[in-house]
Every structure is written in structure tokens, then in C-alpha cells.
Structure 1
């Protein structure tokens, strides 16, 4: 039986398709018709393009293994992804844990990961906070507040007008530090964790504000926003690597107890503080777009592999090895 690698036409699809081709797979991408030339003409990595947000029958018919991305999960929604019948790489149960910030915090706390404080009642805000909607939205809708009044004024933009609406967001204390996003891959076949790469995000307009002097910022009254527009490669000080890797190990171990396991790619999103502490505020339990600068590999993958190894290729290799060892059922949900 021949299997194909399939993914949604957005986010990190180019990397996934490229990695699949390197590992000898036929590829399929699905999505909006408008973007078809991106995957078939400008970057001809898709053997087949199928229009539609989720063409389930075609995916099943072609033995396509779907690789989930943030765009795919955000577009379809967690419940629809959980009920999909096409072959799916990974554990669908983790999606609910990463998309609900209360469950996500339980996961982080049980893994003994240092996290920002959470404020349940916005009327108790007495320190700067960052307010985040649930789900994978690429930073869209995040805002900073310093007082209860500022929170309620800005929250209107998210449709939050009363405390009954607070279930839409989580209010975290704002931690000052350098944004750091380490990308991991956990092999269920080998039971090994790999550090694949690290990035920081380029966010609009939070990163653009620094190009305007403080006096002009105050006059213009610009409010920072955090919508991700790109990703910048980062290499950590070697003295920080063990703390970051041990955090990843604890996340995997805790996932085994809470939701039956986490395998494949994932990312811990956080900051390194002045005290050199790694403070994590989110888990992305799938491939993240921050891996896209590393299509030819990162300094960390070159230390482990004597060949280019992107996260997309690492996924495809795990699937190929599972097929060869007749263990595919262990890594698909």
C-alpha cells in the first residue's frame, strides 16, 4: 500500500512537502484554489492539489497521512479535527489541551514548568498583563493592559463586555524577557526527544514600535499588537540548552499521563528572563511556523544528523520508518 503525505496549504506546508519529497513520498496539498500556484508552479512540491478546506473522501481514497499545522487546526476547529476520519499524524487529544489555556496551564504546572502568573478577575489587575484569546491565532488579538479600566476598554475588541465573557481569554502577568521558541521532535518509535531549532517571532506592530522614538510613540498613541508576520532564527547560549531540553522532556512525560502521549513536533513558547530563567507561557503541540527558516536544517540538527534535516523532513522520516517497521498504527490517530 502506497501512502502520501498531505497537509493544508498554509503555515508550514512548503517545508512539510519538501521534507516528504526528500524521504520519497508522493505529496498532496489541499486548500483555497487561489494559492494552488504557490505549491505547483512557484514551488513545485505538491504532486497533487485538491481544492477544499478538508476533502476527506479524497484523502482517505489516496491513503494520505495528514500533517496538522496551526492554520489547519485554527481553520477547521478542534472538534472537527478530532472527528476527521482521514489518517492523522500525532495524538489528536493534545489539541484540546493546547487550545484551552486552562488545560494548557494544568499541563505546564504538572510538568513543573515555570509559568507567568494568571489573573482570574480583571478587576484585580495591578501589574502589566498580556491578554490572550484561546487557540492558535498567531498572536492575533493579544493586548497589554495595566489597569482594570484599560482591560475592559480594550477587551471590547474581542467581544468581551462582561465577566461572563471572560472564558474567551486568559490574563497572564507580563514577564519581561527575550522571546524564545525552542522546537522539539519526540520520536515515539525511538522514545527520544530531539531539539530541532529555536526562533523568535517578528510581530506587528510590537517590533515596529522600536523604530519610533519614545516621545513620538506617546504623541501618536500607538498600542502594541502581536500578530506574527515572520520568524527569525536564534541560537541559544550553550549554558541554557539543558534547562530548555529538560523542560521539553517533562512536557512529554506529563503528556503521557494526561492525554496518552505527545509525539512528533512541538514548541514551548516563552521568554528567557534577566535571571536566565526559561518562563513558558504556551505549548504548540504540532509543527510551528518558526521551523520554516530551517528547511536546510539548524545548528542543532547538524550536530545530530550528517545531512539537512528540517522538522518537516523529520516528520516524514518517522512515518517512513514506521511503515518499514510495520508500526504505522503507533504514530497515527
Structure 2
């Protein structure tokens, strides 16, 4: 793990009047860069060669650094240029998926908004469950071995995969058949199989709740909620049951849960008390398990059942793409801040306040 003193030494050498906000050009980069510009920061997008056009057309990046491969993000060339521009890096799901937690922990030697070590708790399913259980969050039942499957279960493989290669299985036989197929097609590895998560399937409404924890105010803010639109399973639900039966009888058809987009959502007001308490508890525990704990954006990914229980199946310890529908702000951010407060802008506001008050050390690792 990169030591905190190394990051503080870099920050000490920065020109605080010319801080840049940097991000890997993917996931939620548009709102992060837009929010940073609105807060007066210089902005940098690290972009895979050939994909610069989006960020050029929207005009949100003052500078684009092109790389042939995302792993090049941790190269001396890229890091030296980022540090030369007094950059603070904002993490998101694509950074975790493409650069990797180990590289973030050991090689990404640049001031990092948030606690970089907490991404390990998000990515490791066992650690993630320990965190949520300690926080007294309701969780779906998990099965340690496929032979224990006795009900409909959602099968998930490690990493920030955006739902890719997830599937449902009701029996050990069904699990083995589908896993063998994915393995033969090269879509999953033996390591994926060895670290698989088998969770009971919860019937209800999927609800992804985004929060922001401000170390400067020591307060958890509720930002908003979204639902995911997933391919191809959401398309299947638009056809009749008769046609679904015929479709599932076709061996070429494989249902999938790849996230294609996000819907904004407003929860019934009677659930807000429960939602705030969940966020508060997760942040409190994070300070014990991975000091200094949660910083900035995070998301509890849940199902709401017909008893109005929120059953959490994952946590994302950084901004999620479900905040993208709220670039002009959410109903909840409007109550707190008025118009035009995206999660990207809220992150930039926290950094701006920290720079002005000399408290950047509370936000970066």
C-alpha cells in the first residue's frame, strides 16, 4: 500500500491555487469533469486511445492524456504529467475494473480522493459481507458451496463487472451447467469460479442508494436513488410468457444482467429514516475497519421487498454510474443545495472547501 506520508509530501508540493481534477475517461467521468469545471478546477481526462472524441465533443476536459491501455494509467509518463498539473484523482467503477485494486493500492502514486484501501473491501466479497454485517445491514442468505443451493440464487463473479456473466441457478446441477458453459467460452476463469458469490435471489424492486460522506462536516448526505436497466433480461420481460418459454428453450439464448443504463427513482418518504441510518452505520464501521474510513460518494445496492425491507447485496465505495441521470441534481440534492448539484459537483465542492480551509489531508490518501 502506498503510504499516506508519500501522498502528503506530494500534496505539500502542489500549487494549491491551481489544483486539477483528474479522472479515467469512462463510467461517470462526464459529470465529474463538468462538476469540477463548475467549481473552477482545471480538468484532466485519461483516455484510452481512440475514445477521446466524447470528451472533446462535450468540452469537459481541459486536457486529455491518451493511453494505449488502461494499465498504462500507472506508468511514470502518466503519473508524472498528472502530478505536474497538481492533480487529485477521482475514483469510479471503471478505474477499479480496468486499472485494478492492486495497482491502485501499490502503483497509483497520486493524491486519491477517498480511502484507496477501502476499494479492497468493496471488491472482495468476503470482506464486503463482513463490513455490511458489522454495520447491521440486512443481507441475502449466501451459500458457501454450490452443492448447498436449495432455492433460486443469483450467481456473481468477483470485480466491478457491471453485471456481466451473472446468472440465476436453482439447483447445483443448473449452477454447474451454466458455469461450465461460461468457462468453456472463456468468459470466466478458474479464479472467478473459486471466488464466486452465491446469493439467494430476493424478489422486489432493485434500488441503488447513493450517499455522500463529508469528512469536513462529519455528515452523511443522501444524494439519490436509481434503478438499473439490464441487458438482456429487461428486454425479455417485454415479451409474453408464451414467447419467453420458447426463448428459454433455445440453447443459443443465455439470459444476462449487463447494465446498459440507469433510471432515476424517488423512494417513498417513510423509508428515508431507514435509509439514512443504513448510510450512517456503514460510514461508522468503515472508520474502524479501514481508517480513515469512507470519504465522499458511496452506494448501497439493495432490493426492497413487499415488507419494505431494504436487503443490501453490494456496496460500492465510490461514485456509481447511477448518479449520471442527476447531472442537474437529484430531488434530495435540490433540497440541500438547490439547482445543479450533481455528485461530480458535490465531490468538487468538498475538494474546493478543503483547499480553502487547508484540510486536503482529510480527503486524500
Which one of the candidate residues 346, 357, 364 is aligned to 1:314?
Answer: 346
Contact 2:23 2:46 in 1 (8 A): yes
Contact 2:31 2:327 in 1 (8 A): yes
Which residue is equivalent to 1:147? 171
Question: Residue 135 of structure 1: SS of its match in structure 2?
Answer: coil
- Distance, in Å, in 1 between the alignment partners of 2:228 and 2:183 is 26
- Distance, in Å, in 2 between the alignment partners of 1:173 and 1:159 is 22
- Trace 1:9-158 onto structure 2 (pairs within 5 A): 9-40=25-56, 42-52=57-67, 53=70, 54=73, 55-83=78-106, 84-158=108-182
Which one of the candidate residues 158, 169, 194 is aligned to 2:196?
Answer: 169
Deviation at 1:224, TM superposition (A): 2.6
Deviation at 1:157, TM superposition (A): 4.2
Deviation at 1:158, TM superposition (A): 4.4
- Distance, in Å, in 1 between the alignment partners of 2:19 and 2:340 is 23
**How many residues are matched?**
332
Which residue is equivalent to 2:222? 195
- Distance, in Å, in 1 between the alignment partners of 2:256 and 2:137 is 26
- Distance, in Å, in 2 between the alignment partners of 1:165 and 1:276 is 33
Question: Residue 31 of structure 2: SS of its match in structure 1?
Answer: helix
Question: Residue 35 of structure 1: SS of its match in structure 2?
Answer: coil
Q: Deviations over 1:225-246 (max 9, x none)?
A: 1100000000000001111111
Which residue is equivalent to 2:264? 233
Q: Deviations over 1:6-37 (max 9, x none)?
A: 10010000000000011000100012121212
- Distance, in Å, in 2 between the alignment partners of 1:137 and 1:34 is 22
1:290 aligns with 2:330: no
Identify the range of structure 1 (292-301 vs 164-173) with the bigger mean alpha-carbon deviation. Answer: 164-173
RMSD over aligned Cα atoms: 1.6
Q: Deviations over 1:256-315 (max 9, x none)?
A: 111111010000001100010000000000000000000000110111112311000000
Deviation at 1:173, TM superposition (A): 0.5
In the superposition, the TM-score normalised over structure 1's length comes to 0.97
Which residue is equivalent to 1:208? 235
| CA 1:103–1:158: 2 relative to 1, 3 Å | farther
1:273 aligns with 2:305: yes
Identify the range of structure 1 (223-232 vs 14-23) with the bigger mean alpha-carbon deviation. Answer: 223-232
1:4 aligns with 2:20: yes
Contact 2:47 2:65 in 1 (8 A): yes
- Distance, in Å, in 2 between the alignment partners of 1:157 and 1:249 is 42
Contact 2:183 2:189 in 1 (8 A): no
